[in-house]
Structure 1
Amino acid sequence: MADAMEMMILSILAPQLHCEWRLPSWQVALLTSVVFVGMMSSSTLWGNISDQYGRKTGLKISVLWTLYYGILSGFAPVYSWILVLRGLVGFGIGGVPQSVTLYAEFLPMKARAKCILLIEVFWAIGSVFEVLLAVLVMPTLGWRWLLILSALPLLLFAVLCFWLPESARYDVLSGNQEKAIATLKRIATENGAPMPLGKLIISRQEDRGKMRDLFTPHFRWTTLLLWFIWFSNAFSYYGLVLLTTEFFQAGDVCSISSRRKEVKAKCSLTCEYLTEEDYTDLLWTTLSEFPGVLVTLWVIDRIGRKKTMALSFFVFSFCSLLLFLCVGRNVLTVLLFIARAFISGGFQAAYVYTPEVYPTATRALGLGTCSGMARVGALITPFIAQVMLESSVYLTLVVYSGCCLLAAVASCFLPIETKGRGLQESSHREWGQEMVGRGSHSPGVTRSNSGSQE
């Protein structure tokens, strides 16, 4: 929720500073891009820290970092300061996806997809809450207070971290068996259930958080395809957010070209504050993420992770092509609503699939590098959704539609389907054979329902 609030600020802060500080459009765009640069540069680092020193440690440091610079950015005196401070906020936000790694390692197989998707509901809640907070705060207290108040949920999380347990899977892998057993006993006590019979077997110690492990023969193809899928997700999701404002202001796609000719005659510093109608439109498009979660929740355990991602990309691509038609504002709103619901659903499916496909030793790094590739997509998308749009609306739509069609194909070509499997503990050859050989039994390989080596 805090992550979504810090991201949603970008669409509210940019037009406000454009007016208040008389910034040219390229400086306003840079304010958005610098956050994604920070996220992109730090995602792999936070994944590495989480694999080396623990999921809880990596998450706690990233949250405290984001909280500190989030509050500090509210006191920025000039543009250069806010640029640097929001970049540092982005650097901290890059570690927030590690909460999914920690969460996934506690969840039982049958409930994992459902629970991870339900935690993604709070992204939508955070986005909606930020818009409502802006409606209350911006007219009276201004953008500085909005930045400070938006960082407060992170303060609450930092306090609650004292009760947050470390992953038992991580503790076993790092050789801290006593701590893992203590965590499992705490879980048993809190659930009023007995500890399972048997003893906890210490996993073979492995080097953790090594980039080369993502490119072993068993994971190389998966890693490359996932990087493109995450790139396409963020590229299309944030692109649609930027395009929505442009389309609503024009009335429909066919009106944008003629409207551009009129705009070019104006001064580049022409200032327009966000109106109540703008906030309402922003709220409506954000609300589309709730049905997106529900649809994904319904299909992900029925048709599998790969097909869910492919379906989401295909529907987004189809809606993008329908925008070629000169539809009215109501039909335009419906198409944008459906497109955003499905692309956000695809994002959520990727968040379920990625922690499931990598072993414990590289799970956080795998998610971190995927998140980093998503930030590359988010960094590039303003140049398509805003700069290219000025040249050609239809070329812009073709780029987004084509990218998502390729991502749908990439989802189908992923070699591993994780539906109905336990989390993987080891990255050794036997495990890779077991997963690749889902359809055909490899000789000498013991198959396990729990997803761990026997």
Structure 2
Amino acid sequence: MFRIKDKHLQKRADPRDVARVLGEGMVFFGYMVFSILFGLLADRYGRWKILLISFLWGAYFSLLTSFAPSYIWFVFLRTMVGCGVSGHSQGLIIKTEFLPTKYRGYMLPLSQVFWLAGSLLIIGLASVIIPTIGWRWLIRVASIPGIILIMAFKFIPESARFNVSTGNTPAALATLERIAKMNRAVMPEGKLVEPVLEKRGRFADLLDAKYLRTTLQIWVIWLGISFAYYGVILASAELLERDLVCGSKSDSEVVVTQGNSEEGQSPCHCHLFAPSDYQTMIISTVGEIALNPLNILGINFLGRRLSLSITMGCTALFFLLLNICTSSAGLIGFLFVLRALVAANFNTIYIYTAEVYPTTMRALGMGTSGSLCRIGAMVAPFISQVLMSASILGALCLFSSVCVICAISAFTLPIETKGRALQQIK
């Protein structure tokens, strides 16, 4: 079965596009709601517990998704997966609270390498599994690493900083002694003397006079970075598939649907990716690591604020450069650099947010930021897939304008965390 799509008839938003992005947005909605809740609970009951719960939750509902009997059930279960994934940021909090000040700017961005490896792995699996045994088996196979990692939790300690803040000094000492033994080092003499902090994980602290301006600017930056990040991912597919920039393709294109197959009759009107689509995804994903060495240097020598403002400004510029009529190779080059820039933005804001807040509100600060982040992610598909069908110039200029606002917000942040010890209390 063939369906002819006339591009001249796509000036107005296609209701099917709206339905598709609504389905994608529900995952982010689940993340947005539970990110705040998990952050609140992590500051009160511990980072390790919330991280374990989020892994169990995400793995369970991810596996259930492969058995979804309808599109409505699929969207609901993916929303539940989004709820679980929202707690994974507690892993970054634990790592931040263990790393010495001088190493945080180096080690945290290197985590991006593992994110890249996972992204490339799932793209490779999708290119093999979906055309042969279907998307349900892809989800089942993709759930296996999450289930295996749950068994590794016995090797992950609770944050010693959190234990000290709750008065559980023996647990903190036991963790530090274990780390010293692993490193064949000797614990320094002395006692852990810190005040027990009864008031932890309070929203009022985020909006306290000392942190109000910082919190509001961080929220703006998180929202804008997420908007740009998911915008460039989705816009890449639209630009490369339709070649909207130069219009070199014919005015009409033929799309092959799958007849009476499950995918062909899907309520979201999807069709299978071609091998070239997977190749494009791999190229753009590799771009996320391209600027990592420069990003690490910028974070450590220029500072978090200046480094972020520079990469956000460059992101705005490259969104505008997508309006230039160029070859397919030139377009892929622009998208490659843009993907690298938006990944660098995420690296920097993750580090800054984890460093700027004290232990009593660090997880909540990360959780609320992650929640605002998902609002940007939910809006991005409507711009990159719906508005772009009507006006590519308008969509790209909107992305660029948001990045400019974020660059200004980053440059004017009141606190620089480069070389700053983690704060225990506000």
TM-score by length of 2: 0.91
Provide the rounded CA distance (Å) in 2 between the counterparts of 1:377 and 1:171: 34
Report matched runs for 1:41-440 at 5 Å: 41-251=33-243, 253-255=245-247, 262=252, 272-427=271-426
CA-to-aligned-CA distance 1:187-236 (integer Å, 9 cap, x gap)? 11111111012211032423111011001111000000000101011100
Q: Secondary structure of the equivalent of 1:255?
A: coil
| Corresponding letter in the other structure for 1:136 | V
312-321 or 26-35, larger mean C-alpha shift:
26-35
Unaligned runs of 5+ in 1: 1-22, 428-454
Pairwise CA distance, 1:162: 1.3
Unaligned runs of 5+ in 2: 1-14, 258-266
CA-to-aligned-CA distance 1:38-88 (integer Å, 9 cap, x gap)? 001111011011101100001000110000000010111111111110000
Provide the rounded CA distance (Å) in 2 between the counterparts of 1:42 and 1:327: 43
Q: Secondary structure of the equivalent of 1:121?
A: helix
261-270 or 296-305, larger mean C-alpha shift:
261-270
Query: Is the Cα–Cα contact under 8 Å of residues 65 and 74 in structure 2 kept in the other structure?
Result: yes
Provide the rounded CA distance (Å) in 1 between the counterparts of 2:144 and 2:195: 39
CA-to-aligned-CA distance 1:150-198 (integer Å, 9 cap, x gap)? 1111112211011110000000001101111111111111111110122
Pairwise CA distance, 1:293: 2.0
Query: Is the Cα–Cα contact under 8 Å of residues 206 and 361 in structure 1 kept in the other structure?
Result: no
Query: Is the Cα–Cα contact under 8 Å of residues 55 and 85 in structure 2 kept in the other structure?
Result: yes
Q: Secondary structure of the equivalent of 1:96?
A: helix
Query: Is the Cα–Cα contact under 8 Å of residues 252 and 326 in structure 1 kept in the other structure?
Result: no
Residue in structure 2 matching 1:27, options 7, 14, 19: 19
Provide the rounded CA distance (Å) in 1 between the counterparts of 2:310 and 2:254: 39
Runs of 4+ in 1 over 3 A off after TM superposition: 23-27, 261-272
269-278 or 213-222, larger mean C-alpha shift:
269-278
Query: Is the Cα–Cα contact under 8 Å of residues 319 and 339 in structure 1 kept in the other structure?
Result: yes
Provide the rounded CA distance (Å) in 1 between the counterparts of 2:407 and 2:196: 37
Query: Is the Cα–Cα contact under 8 Å of residues 164 and 196 in structure 2 kept in the other structure?
Result: no
Provide the rounded CA distance (Å) in 1 between the counterparts of 2:376 and 2:176: 39
| Corresponding letter in the other structure for 2:413 | L
117-126 or 364-373, larger mean C-alpha shift:
117-126
Provide the rounded CA distance (Å) in 2 between the counterparts of 1:295 and 1:203: 40
Query: Is the Cα–Cα contact under 8 Å of residues 252 and 329 in structure 1 kept in the other structure?
Result: no
| Corresponding letter in the other structure for 2:137 | W
1:7 paired residue number: none
Query: Is the Cα–Cα contact under 8 Å of residues 72 and 85 in structure 1 kept in the other structure?
Result: yes
Provide the rounded CA distance (Å) in 2 between the counterparts of 1:167 and 1:336: 39
Q: Secondary structure of the equivalent of 2:246?
A: helix
Provide the rounded CA distance (Å) in 2 between the counterparts of 1:270 and 1:119: 36
Pairwise CA distance, 1:295: 2.0
CA-to-aligned-CA distance 1:371-405 (integer Å, 9 cap, x gap)? 11110000011111111112211010110000001
Provide the rounded CA distance (Å) in 2 between the counterparts of 1:88 and 1:272: 25
Q: Secondary structure of the equivalent of 1:196?
A: coil
Query: Is the Cα–Cα contact under 8 Å of residues 19 and 268 in structure 2 kept in the other structure?
Result: no
Query: Is the Cα–Cα contact under 8 Å of residues 252 and 328 in structure 1 kept in the other structure?
Result: no
Identical columns (%): 37
Provide the rounded CA distance (Å) in 2 between the counterparts of 1:131 and 1:271: 17
CA-to-aligned-CA distance 1:233-291 (integer Å, 9 cap, x gap)? 110000000000111123351329x87x7479999987632000010001100010111
Pairwise CA distance, 1:122: 1.3
Q: Secondary structure of the equivalent of 2:87?
A: coil
- Alpha carbons of structure 1 residues 32 and 269: separation in structure 2 relative to 1, 3 Å: closer
Q: Secondary structure of the equivalent of 1:277?
A: helix
| Corresponding letter in the other structure for 1:394 | L
CA-to-aligned-CA distance 1:320-378 (integer Å, 9 cap, x gap)? 11122211111111111111101110100111111100000000000011111110000
- Note the aligned Cα RMSD (angstroms): 2.0
2:260 paired residue number: none
TM-score by length of 1: 0.85
Query: Is the Cα–Cα contact under 8 Å of residues 116 and 352 in structure 1 kept in the other structure?
Result: yes
- Alpha carbons of structure 1 residues 355 and 271: separation in structure 2 relative to 1, 3 Å: closer
Query: Is the Cα–Cα contact under 8 Å of residues 227 and 380 in structure 2 kept in the other structure?
Result: yes
